[in-house]
Structure 1
């Protein structure tokens, strides 16, 4: 079983003088000597260092108070989530799954061994409460692959206590700088070890500023591919909103493939779009039902108690449970399955060797602007058509189609912002507003369908259907209010031109 700890720390270069006296800094009443610890850690990665390229570290460490397996994900500069698992001879399955989107079919191998002699100090306040742990680490690094280079250095590490105020580290750093201690140039011991044990190691590829239309589209697609890969472990850990964010990234990629068909050959990208649609569907298997249940529950909560007739809440709970189409186990199986991993490989391949069409070499002000104009013009036509229809199922369906197009137009404009600037950004805002209205309308349509079904269940069971009818009427009113707002939102689209 793995557990997670938020690690907030800063690293500094150290010389023979070691750690300066920190008594009195930010409420430090005493600096307690906790003795020496001998730490021995082996870091694992693929042969081409895929984890290191994304700032992840996976190690097996003995010695100290937290021996075991540690997997660290970067959160922000100096902040990482450390996921721990008990000591074992092989990489625990719980951690292997969290790096699968990056490792895929490659083997995790021992890459570097770090042995550290750690001189530990606890910084405590007047009540003896731990504020931070400061240590001086004498490190020896040995590369376990290739020519097996070695390196040695000494560093100071200050780690904030659990639940501590990060501003405390600012005060400590001020004292350290005053004493001549400077922040480390490397974000982690592993990063320094990799650099110093293999001086001829190829540096990470640096992205160049996009110039052509193809450059801009590919930059947007790479960002979405990276988001899908990075969010995979968050989805596995059930991090709030991670499923939604990963689903959005798949939709953005699929939309970009379709919108920018003059830049990238759709005979190559359409199959990827189909797979992205499949993945979005798997991610949303339970999410759509959860959103609908949350809406109906909120509507029910807003009713006065005397308007709730019969076991409505219990009926809603049972209905929702019956319609849950998936489970976390199913979703994890999808993320571990060959189809998902093959999709990630295919995305890598098409971005490494993109099927560029002639327009890709042109100025973004032409090819990208034309694509955005086309999407927004189509959106405007779809919306105009829907608003001309009489209220009812036909209008509801037409507005749903306009909603899907609003998403695509918004994503096309998002991709265009770096190239087209404020004019594209304004269209993003317009499409986002319209998408929100159309989304609320579609949610109302789905809520009314659910309420009709719930009412039928209740009547069959001999229960009152009064409350379901009341909620239905309120949802109908909400949809009508949205429809009244749509013409104003439509006017912000203009003719669909980004400038």
Structure 2
């Protein structure tokens, strides 16, 4: 069993040892008083792979004794000064739950102790006028011993300022303001920010334990070329894919959706920019990304349906809800949603998934660049975007030619996928081509949204019909399900009426003109 919290902290190098060299922080922003807390002795053993893959990704995994939070701590990077800490109870071995959360980084490599860090900690609480703790100031005397062959020992003092409960008194902005005010006061006393993001990173450096494994980066790529823009985009998406893995495993809100979209962005980039990267290498990757997106899609599709149908049901007046509608919806969701999440987690535990991550790393490390990768970006990247636009135009024309019904719904769904490809191709090209391609991408996104709303309504109708049949078979009233079905049908028809105007705006020749010259 694990628990998690967000922590926002900054680390500093104290000018002198001991609390005597620190300024009085009373009156700093909302700080009304500073109180002393119990001193602590902390003993932590950090675990990583032999080539320090976790440290290379700014992730730490430790087993700590002493203090109020003894146990296993996994810290995952978020943004800025904030990280997420996942905790598990104290045990001799790395808990399986935490081992799974780092799998996208370790790729199954064995975890082993790499550094032992012991600290003597003096704690001060920064409190507001009501006595509530705003932040914790900790002064640590640290001794680090390498547990790797050839490593040594290092000692230093370190100051940490951490917001209470990972936030400030009135939210994130106020918390950041408090940290800024405290830092300004500390600087006046000669206290400067640490150049190490964590105790582990400093310990590895100062004990000579070795260098952390670097994130793969492409070599011999011409700056400001099609190759550099495409590889830069791919690197961002691969990093996002790896970082989202722990959130998906923990079923955090929107995590599956974001990971699925990341797969789509990667696939789309590899498809649209075949003139830059050799498809003999990228086509097998696209196939594997399609597989992963499909495994994620089961859980995501169920999530969308649950939110859509549940939200529509909540909006109905009570006199229109006949029978155990809410109960049946919950049973339906649990039966489908649990299986979907299990399938997703199983996919993330397969060797196939880990091979895909390794293959993406290899692509970035040794990209199969074609001749156009080192040319001028304007012509190559504009051509890629316009080619995807041409496919979208053809799909839209075909959809408008279909009679209302299943054939048109299928054609509109295909057009939606084409609109996404235009949008993603434009995202890749935006740093090179600027606002003109950005405007085209925004118009494609609007088309995608209308078509996406239409598709969601179509899928919801199918689900509601199945729910109505189940209810009728159980002797329950199917009235409410029929009512919701009618609303979804009306919503789909409304999106179809809206689509021609949205498409006219997206197909305006003036949008493409700057890219065609």
What is the SS of the residue equivalent to 1:439?
helix
Matched residue, 1:262: 275
**Cα distance in 2 between the residues matched to 1:464 and 1:360:** 63
Q: Which runs of 5+ in 2 are unaligned?
A: 170-174
Give TM-score, length-normalised by structure 1: 0.92
1:115 aligns with 2:125: no
User: Which residue of 2 is the match for residue 450 of structure 1?
Assistant: 463
Counterpart position of 2:191 = 181
SS of the residue corresponding to residue 145 of structure 1 reads: coil
CA–CA distance in structure 2, aligned partners of residues 220 and 327 of structure 1? 30
User: In 2 relative to 1, CA 138–487 (structure 1 residues): closer, same or farther, beyond 3 Å?
Assistant: same
Q: Distance in 2 between matches of 1:239 and 1:294?
A: 15
Distance change in 2, residues 1:494/1:18 (3 Å):
same
Larger CA deviation: 233-242 vs 187-196:
187-196
Tell whether the 8 Å contact from 1:19 to 1:156 is kept in structure 2 after alignment. Answer: no
- Mark the CA change 1:464 to 1:4 in structure 2 (over 3 Å): closer, same or farther: closer
Aligned-partner Cα distance in 2 for 1:29–1:262: 63
The Cα shift of 1:407 comes to: 1.3
1:72 paired residue among 71, 75, 82: 75
Q: Displacement, 1:323?
A: 4.3
Counterparts of 1:342 and 1:440, CA distance in 2: 35
Aligned positions of 1:255-334 closer than 5 A: 255-324=268-337, 326-334=339-347
1:129–1:295 CA distance, 2 compared to 1 (3 A)? closer
Matches of 1:286 and 1:115, distance apart in 2:
43
2:264 corresponds to: 251
- Give the direction of change, closer, same or farther, for the CA distance of 1:84–1:447 in structure 2 (3 Å limit): closer
Aligned length: 499
Counterpart Cα distance in 2 of 1:211 and 1:160: 41
Pair 1:9 & 2:9 matched: yes
Alignment of structure 1 residues 62-141 onto 2, 5 Å: 62-125=65-128, 127-141=130-144
> Match for residue 181 of structure 2?
171
Q: Residues 6, 322 of structure 1: CA spacing in aligned structure 2 closer, same or farther, 3 A cutoff? A: closer
Tell me, in whole angstroms, the C-alpha distance in 2 between the residues paired with 1:84 and 1:320: 29
Distance in 2 between residues matched to 1:247 and 1:348, nearest whole Å = 18
Question: Which whole-Å deviations, capped at 9, do the CAs of 1:27-46 have from their partners, x for residues lacking one?
Answer: 54443333542222222222
Aligned-residue offset at 1:95: 1.3
Report deviation, 1:461: 4.7
| SS of 1:356 mapped into structure 2 | coil
Change (3 A) 1:290 1:198: same
Structure 1, residues 153-175: CA drift from partner, whole Å, max 9, x if none?
22222222225431333332232
CA deviations over 1:345-394 (Å, ceiling 9, x no partner): 12112222222222222222122211110101110121122112221222
Question: Residues 451 and 34 from structure 1, CA distance in 2 versus in 1: closer, same or farther, beyond 3 angstroms?
Answer: closer
Contact kept, 8 Å, 2:10 with 2:161, in 1: the verdict is: yes
Cα distance between partner residues in 2 of 1:408 and 1:217:
15
Q: Do the aligned residues in 2 keep the contact of 1:210 with 1:219 (CA within 8 Å)?
A: no
Q: Does 31-40 or 413-422 show the bigger shift?
A: 31-40
Report deviation, 1:119: 2.1
Which of residues 207, 213, 220 is equivalent to 1:197? 207
Give the 3-state SS of the residue equivalent to 1:286 in structure 2.
Answer: helix
- Are residues 1:493 and 2:493 paired? no
Deviations 1:254-275 (A, max 9, x none): 1112212222222322222121
Q: Mean alpha-carbon deviation: is it higher for 286-295 or for 481-490?
A: 286-295
Query: Does the 8 A contact of 1:18 with 1:136 survive in 2?
Result: no
Equivalent residue number for residue 58 of structure 2: 55
Change (3 A) 1:195 1:302: same
Q: Report the CA distance between 1:253 and its aligned residue.
A: 0.8
Structure 2 distance, partners of 1:34, 1:458, is 60
Given that 2:49 and 2:109 are in contact with CA atoms closer than 8 Å, whether structure 1 keeps it comes out as yes
For residues 155-166 of structure 1, the aligned pairs below 5 Å read 155-162=158-165, 164-165=168-169, 166=175
Per-residue deviation at 1:52?
1.4
* The 10-residue stretch of structure 1 (230-239 or 317-326) with the greater mean CA deviation from structure 2: 317-326
Q: Which runs of 5+ in 1 are unaligned?
A: none
**2: CA distance, partners of 1:474 / 1:435:** 21
TM-score (norm 2): 0.89
Aligned 8 A contact 1:18 1:156 in 2: no
Aligned in 2, Cα 1:365/1:132: closer, same or farther, shift over 3 Å? Answer: same
User: Whole-Å Cα distance in 2 between the matches of residues 253 and 111 of structure 1?
Assistant: 34
**How far, CA to CA, are the matches of 1:63 and 1:324 in structure 2?**
40
Distance 2:475 2:41 in 1: 72
Call closer, same or farther: CA 1:317–1:190 in 2, change over 3 Å. closer
1:37-81 C-alpha deviation (Å, 9 max, x unpaired)? 222222222222211122111112222222222111122222221
SS of residue paired to 1:138: strand
Q: Give the CA deviation at 1:344.
A: 1.0
Query: What is the rounded CA distance, in whole Å, between the counterparts of 2:476 and 2:144 in structure 1?
Result: 72
- Give the secondary-structure state (helix, strand or coil) at the position aligned to 1:55: coil
Aligned to 2:172: none
